């Protein structure tokens, strides 16, 4: 199950990097989406490497970081569509 999940994350992270380079209007949006996709991929790979080396405690720590980055990505997307978004009050 972990390998299927990590494969899906790898595909989604690469697509996130691609989307950040062509679909974001503001340069700052491009940077944060690219950085988030990259850290999502890196934390997933680090969690996989830890579990492959038998270091379960390190795997737990890396997977927790990984889930935190996933949550940030989803939360930002939800907050951006709220009508009370702070940047839309101009």
Count of domains for the chain: 1
pLDDT band of residue 77 (cuts 50, 70, 90) is confident
Q: Name the phi and psi angles at 10, rounded to 5.
A: -60, -45
Give a yes or no: residue 45 inside a domain: yes
Query: Which pLDDT score is estimated for 51?
Result: 94
Q: Return the DSSP state at 83.
A: T
Distance (Å, rounded) from C-alpha 40 to C-alpha 88?
28
Which domain, by its residues, includes 14? 2-82
Give the list of residues 6+ apart from residue 48 with CB closer than 8 angstroms, or none: 2, 6
Distance (Å, rounded) from C-alpha 55 to C-alpha 33?
30
Give a yes or no: residue 90 inside a domain: no
pLDDT surpassing 80 at residue 80: no
The residue that leads in pLDDT, 82 or 41, is 41
47 contacts 59 by C-beta, under 8 angstroms? yes
Give the distance from CA 48 to its chain's centroid: 16
Give a yes or no: residue 87 inside a domain: no
CA distances from 37 to 13, 52, 76 (A): 5, 23, 13
Q: What is the pLDDT of residues 16-69, one digit of tens each?
A: 889 888 876 788 878 888 898 899 899 999 999 999 999 999 999 999 999 998
Q: What's the whole-number mean pLDDT along residues 12-17?
A: 89
Give a yes or no: residue 89 inside a domain: no
């Amino acid at each position: 199950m972990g390998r299927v999940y990590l494969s899906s994350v790898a595909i989604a992270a690469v697509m996130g990097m691609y989307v950040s380079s062509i679909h974001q209007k503001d340069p700052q949006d491009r940077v944060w989406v690219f950085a988030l996709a990259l850290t999502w991929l890196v934390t997933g790979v680090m969690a996989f490497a830890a579990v492959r080396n038998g270091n379960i405690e390190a795997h737990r720590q890396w997977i927790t970081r990984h889930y935190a980055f996933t949550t940030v990505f989803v939360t930002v997307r939800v907050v951006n569509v709220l009508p009370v978004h702070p940047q839309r009050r101009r």
